[in-house]
Amino acid sequence: MPETTLDVLALQLMQLDPADDAGVSEFVAGVRAHVAARGEAGGTPALVALAGTVDLLERVPVAQRGILLGEAGRYIERAMGEASGTVPVAEAAFDEGALPPDTDVDLLRDFIAESRDILTGAEAALLELESNPADDESVNTVFRAFHTIKGTAAFLGLGGLSAFAHHAESLLSLVRDKEIPYNSRCADLSLRSSDMLKAFLDSVEAAIDGSRLVPPVGADVLTSELERAAAGEIFEESVVETTVIEVDVITVAAAGSAGDAAGAAAMAEAMASVVAATAVREAATGPTSGKAKHEAELSVRVRTDRLDRLIDMVGELVIAQSMIAGDTGVSQIKNQALARKITHAGKIVRDLQDLSMSMRMVPLKGTFQKLTRLVRDLAQKNGKAVEFVTNGDDTEIDRNMVDAIADPLVHMVRNSLDHGLEPRDERQASGKRPQGTLKLSAFHQGGHVVVELKDDGRGLNREKIVAKAIARGLIESEKGMSDGDVWQLIFAPGFSTADKITDVSGRGVGMDVVKRNVEQIRGRIDIASEKGLGTTITLRLPLTLAITDGMLVRVGDERYIVPTINIQLSFRPATDSLYTVTGRGEMVLLRESTIPIVRLHRLFGIAGAAERPEEALLMLVGDGERQCAILVDELLGQHQVVAKSLGRGLGTVPGVSGGAILGDGRVGLILDVAQIIQLGRTAGNDDVTPAAPDRRSVA
Amino acid sequence: MTHTASVAAVSQHGGKYLTFVLAGEEYGMQILSVHEILGLLPVTRIPRTPAHIRGVINLRGKVIPVLDLRLRFGMPSVVDTETSCIIVVQVQGTQMGLVVDQVSEVTTIAGADIEPPPSFGADVPTDFILGIGKSAGRVRLLLDIDRVLSSDEVVEAAAAAADAG
């Protein structure tokens, strides 16, 4: 196609009807030809932006073309200015240190979120390429990712980001066109490019919040490296980095739990394939990526606050519906048809609630993919051979939980790679395969999501942990401690048995943080370990953060919700099991241990509550470490409630973690058991009940 | 009193006000901060909070705190009446309910009719008062609701203002 000048393009644009498909195609082709004639880089920022804009033009609905054509017009004008020298060529946002003045912040946020998703996908493809460099589809995935980011960034006026993406893309295009082979140097550069693009996105995000827009550190260096690589230098250095490292990544597309026979079989097969042939591995991963692509096209991005609002509204609807159904006026109407209609409406409302809840659920795939990358990098750093197997990454979990478990998982994986798995020679000496296995699985079990990290390393060292714990004064002796008790010690703050501190783990700030983070999302962490055979860490997490399983209790005239996960048992104490310890308040004797009693009515100043524990109930609650028995009047039943904050206006309320709308539309407060125990201790010292014979408290 | 000077100083506060009654006195708050007005709803008390925090209510699925404006200003507490209601305001992005004795009307108070807050001496801050609105023969204390809800000194200050007024 002959080159079209900017003037001709501008003229074309003026006469163009956005609905005229042929005209638009012609215009797009003209722009492309013009940009192509200005060199691969597209020449100036305005031209890069123009190219990005017309790329989008073909992908948006007709209705939105008008806006893009307007954009294109502006870029053509700017390009003309650049050509005539009236506009400085370096008019890129990153050079100015600020976002373009006409930036649409919402659009920018969407771009950031979308680009991060794209990059996650690209990274997975890059890792796939490491084990299978001939996979054209993966090359294309990465190429498309960089290309999309380049185009959109240019459209949004993010010149520096767009230019960098261009360099990253150029390298990949050489690989795609088989001009250079995909070798380890190329892989390294691509992965670093992907990281750099993420850093660019971070700085754009920071700029939205008001910081200066600066290119990330090292962008220049990496750009010139990319340029040199694209210019052919890649061949010379290619063999240097071929080290002993082997990282095999398998994604087993087995749905369902680990106990699922088919899943286990598929996995065994896939594991065998690592040793046997790469061809089988392709077969195992092929269908997964194809399916994921299909799903991505069928999804819609919705702002989380809107989704939360929807869930709130549906929750309200459920309450409103149950109020109608339970209304005495309605129930007095002896009309079967009406009753049927109400039941029918109730069923729809409940289905709607299930549906709205499921909308927050996302698969763990993204989280697992990030860990795959981490394993690769750490294995390289430590010089260990690791086979990382993930299983059940299609298990769904609440969107909020995904963020909450990301950090703990990173810590766990680091620990396993650093301490768990032995170096190659040590493994061979103990008769194991030289390549260590790290298996990450996720599955549903009894209303929970279980995430399990299993290594076949050296296992936890009981003697070492015990010695360390005694040295640190955590325990006095190991007498009577089961293995499980000993393993729990590694969750103590500052605990580390690593002989030397590496930059990845061993600083002793790992496992206690993991435990705390997991408990914050009402999850549980368990360790199983066998010396010489490996360690399994299991996270048991609630399906969603939005819903709390709670026991509704009555204390005097007030009702409170106690999270079920904190409740151990409830009982009516016998008179002779109650006694008062001077200085330590009231205690109850249960199974030979004494447990402090917290009188909630006194702590919270509630009127009309039962004073005598024998006439009320004691609810034994714990936060994992400490226990107490809360005195309540009555259990009103178990409920699933949607936990809400009490509103920022109140700040934090000691002893209360939030509120929930109860069945009658009123707000019930959810108790924070850990804080109650704490409050009980401090308050207990304030108002110690004298050891009166009848234990009747003095009000 | 230098009437003209004071008019010039506060005229930017002119606009629409929601007026309400607290302990027999009329107050006003800018209508823009008012979200809605509710009849009294069942309020869940929150333990271990100051007395002026009445508790939380369910506002169509949202849990929002409710303050007793009488107690906030150090006025005596009274039993709720038929006319008692909750004004839901939006303060710095947070919704909050305020219990008042009675809501009166929405009225426009021109900038010229607003006088600067009276001074009670250095010890009594008056920064939560936008000014004194005088229109249709009535005097209303116009509140800067943001400051009323964020400042801790309000209670004492308001008590002093009530005494002086």
Cβ A236 vs Cβ A213: under 8 Å? no
Find chain A residues with C-beta within 8 A of B42's C-beta: 665-666
Residue A532 pLDDT class (50, 70, 90 cuts) = confident
List, for chain B, all residue ranges whose pLDDT scores fall below the cut of 50: 1-8, 10, 153-165
- Report yes or no: B38 at the A interface, CB cutoff 8 Å: no
Q: Do B44 and A659 touch (CB under 8 A)?
A: yes
Residue-wise pLDDT for A154-188, tens only, equals: 777 787 888 888 888 888 777 777 777 777 778 88
Burial category of A245 from C-beta neighbours within 10 Å (exposed 0-12, middle 13-18, buried 19 and up): middle
CATH code, domain with B112: 2.40.50.180
Burial category of A655 from C-beta neighbours within 10 Å (exposed 0-12, middle 13-18, buried 19 and up): buried
| A76 vs A258, higher pLDDT | A76
Closest CA to A448 of A526, A344, A356: A526
* pLDDT reported for residue A671: 92
Q: Is A169 an active-site residue?
A: yes
> Whole-angstrom Cα distance, residue A76 to residue A47?
8
Residue-wise pLDDT for A566-606, tens only, equals: 899 999 998 888 888 776 688 898 888 889 999 999 899 99
Residue A631 pLDDT class (50, 70, 90 cuts) = very high
* pLDDT reported for residue B45: 93
Which CATH superfamily, name and number, covers A547-686? SH3 Domains (2.30.30.40)
Q: Is the pLDDT of residue A19 over 60?
A: yes
Domain range spanning residue B93? 3-164
| A684 vs A426, higher pLDDT | A426
| Structure token digits, residue A255 | 């749905």
* pLDDT reported for residue A236: 45
Closest CA to B101 of B6, B26, B18: B26
Q: Do A655 and B48 touch (CB under 8 A)?
A: yes
Find chain B residues with C-beta within 8 A of A667's C-beta: 44, 55-58, 63
* pLDDT reported for residue A546: 67
* pLDDT reported for residue A83: 66
Query: What architecture is domain A6-233?
Result: Up-down Bundle (1.20)
| A488 vs A551, higher pLDDT | A551
| Gyration radius of chain A over CA positions | 31
Enumerate the domain spans of chain A. 6-233, 247-293+362-542, 305-359, 547-686
Residue from the list B62, B65, B94 with its beta carbon closest to the beta carbon of A312: B62
Q: Do A650 and B49 touch (CB under 8 A)?
A: yes
A326: CB partners within 8 A, 6+ apart: none
Q: What mean pLDDT do residues A352-380 have? A: 85
| A373 vs A98, higher pLDDT | A373
* pLDDT reported for residue A237: 43
* pLDDT reported for residue A278: 36
* pLDDT reported for residue A629: 93
* pLDDT reported for residue B101: 94
Cβ A126 vs Cβ A194: under 8 Å? yes
* pLDDT reported for residue B11: 56
Q: What mean pLDDT do residues A322-343 have? A: 84
Q: Is the pLDDT of residue A279 over 50?
A: no
| A503 vs A425, higher pLDDT | A425
* Chain B: closest CA distance from residue A653 (Å): 7
Q: Of A86-100, A452-466, A652-666, B54-68, where does mean pLDDT reach its minimum? A: A86-100
Closest CA to B145 of B71, B78, B95: B95
Eight-class DSSP state of B18? E
Residue from the list A606, A646, A654 with its beta carbon closest to the beta carbon of B56: A646
| Structure token digits, residue A246 | 């082997």
CATH (residue range A247-293+362-542): 3.30.565.10
The single residue of A391, A415, A517, A566 carrying the catalytic annotation is A415
Closest CA to A118 of A46, A168, A49, A170: A168
Residue-wise pLDDT for A575-586, tens only, equals: 888 888 776 688
- Report yes or no: B149 at the A interface, CB cutoff 8 Å: yes
Q: Is the pLDDT of residue A36 over 90?
A: no
* pLDDT reported for residue A560: 95
The single residue of A71, A82, A147, A167 carrying the catalytic annotation is A147
* Chain A: closest CA distance from residue B74 (Å): 19
Q: Of A34-48, A115-129, A221-235, where does mean pLDDT reach its minimum? A: A34-48
Cβ A71 vs Cβ A154: under 8 Å? no
* pLDDT reported for residue A90: 39
- Report yes or no: A323 at the B interface, CB cutoff 8 Å: no
Q: Do B65 and A655 touch (CB under 8 A)?
A: no
Residue from the list B58, B61, B96 with its beta carbon closest to the beta carbon of A313: B61
Helix A105-131 to helix A365-382 angle (10° resolution) is 50
Residue-wise pLDDT for A52-102, tens only, equals: 777 777 777 777 777 778 778 777 877 776 666 544 443 445 666 777 766
Burial category of A188 from C-beta neighbours within 10 Å (exposed 0-12, middle 13-18, buried 19 and up): middle
Q: Is the pLDDT of residue A633 over 90?
A: yes
Helix (H), strand (E) at residue A23: helix A21-37
Residue from the list B44, B53, B93 with its beta carbon closest to the beta carbon of A650: B53
Helix A136-155 to helix A159-176 angle (10° resolution) is 160
* pLDDT reported for residue B145: 87
Strand B62-68 vs strand B94-100: parallel, antiparallel, or unpaired? parallel
Q: Is the pLDDT of residue A246 over 80?
A: no
As for how many domains chain B has, the answer is 1
Residue-wise pLDDT for A114-159, tens only, equals: 888 888 888 888 888 877 777 778 888 888 888 888 877 877 778 7
* pLDDT reported for residue A516: 81
